[in-house]
Amino acid sequence: MPVDNNGIHEDFRAQARRLANEKIKPHAAIVDEEEQFPMASIDAFKKMELNGLPFPVELGGAGGDLLSQVIAVEEIARVCGSSALVLLIPWAALTPLVWFGSDDLKQKVVPSVAAGKCGASFCLTEPGGGSDLPGLKTRAEQVGGGWLLNGQKRFISNVGWSDWYAILARTAEKSFGVFMVHRDDAGISIGRHERKMGMRGSPTADVILEDCLIPEDRVVGDPFKGYEYMMQTLSYTRPLVSAQALGLAQGALDEAVRYTSERTQFNSKVSRFQMVRGMIADMAIAVESSRTLLYRAVELAEHNDDRARCFASMAKTLCSDTAMSVTTNAVQLHGGYGYTKDYPVERMMRDAKVSQIWEGTNQIQRLLVAKYVYQD
């Protein structure tokens, strides 16, 4: 892992891991079982000032670099995927605003989110699809006094807790804008909460916009450059989703090593069986390979390298595929117990699946990587 000469990132990892083990892990199973919003995790984040980690100091944040954000998400996801999701979604949602928004709009939105008083949500996907951003149908029309939004966004995370929703909407035939909509604005409503396989602690529902009128100053930057803003943002947000997947894989590997080291069969520790050791070795190789690629993607993003977008897609694909395979093998290594809710690997496997789907499906990521390789 790239760190500075003082080992600041290693110290930060140790703090995040301690927080995860002491304050988040104890309630992870209840959060999943009862579909309970992880408010205890939010309180824990506040104590370590994680809510504002990526935001500038002048906006109430900590000014942390992308690697610090990735480490934080990774360590939280190692014990609770839902808590990691609740943490990273506001960071992703407000990235376009922090980069391209006016100072007044940033001051209006960011400080409360950075303080952990509320959340923010990213609203891209629609009922007709998610990966096809140019095909989105939500529209924003400039009218007297502001912008009128109409449309429906689907699978939006953290609804209810979020006060702010970053909406990508069409402003012309081939142009889009990003608009900051508040939960109290007239014309915005929340649909039925989804009944999900995993990530059950983060509420997910549609965000519906019906003649939602917002002030002129709520548009982020240029109202015709929203698509470009989102494309630049994805080079930074995909590593966060990758980190969440990596954390789930690492957590499942930890649990598998612990269980096989304690479980006895045929008068021997299961960890001594050759086939078990082979599986654990493959899982460890996959996790460490994923971490190396992810940190390389982070390095390129932090240096604004032209390869950053491709490597972000590579990392997202590898980390999420690793999360699915490692959590599945962890369940296998637990035998029948892995199929029960008494052990966390069952939850981790369910949580891992969505990492291959959101933030651009892995099929789309492979097409992006191939486009880069072919230079077409």
Element at 152 (helix H, strand E): strand 146-157
Element at 41 (helix H, strand E): helix 39-48
Q: How confident is the model at residue 3 (pLDDT cuts 50, 70, 90)?
A: very low
Contact 319, 242 (CB under 8 A): yes
Residue 1 has pLDDT above 70, yes or no: no
- Work out the average pLDDT over 278-305: 97
Q: Which residues are catalytic?
A: 359
CB burial string 51-74: b at 16+ within 10 A, e below? bbbbbeeebbbbebbbbbbbbbbb
Does pTM surpass 0.85?
yes
Convert the pLDDT of each residue in 159-207 to its tens digit: 989 999 999 999 999 999 999 999 999 999 999 999 999 999 999 999 9
Question: 11: exposed, middle or buried (C-beta count within 10 Å: 0-12, 13-18, 19+)?
Answer: exposed
Q: How confident is the model at residue 7 (pLDDT cuts 50, 70, 90)?
A: confident
Convert the pLDDT of each residue in 144-167 to its tens digit: 989 999 999 999 999 989 999 999
Tokens of 235: 């080079």
Q: How confident is the model at residue 261 (pLDDT cuts 50, 70, 90)?
A: very high
Question: 121: exposed, middle or buried (C-beta count within 10 Å: 0-12, 13-18, 19+)?
Answer: buried
Convert the pLDDT of each residue in 315-360 to its tens digit: 999 999 999 999 999 999 999 999 999 999 999 999 999 999 998 8
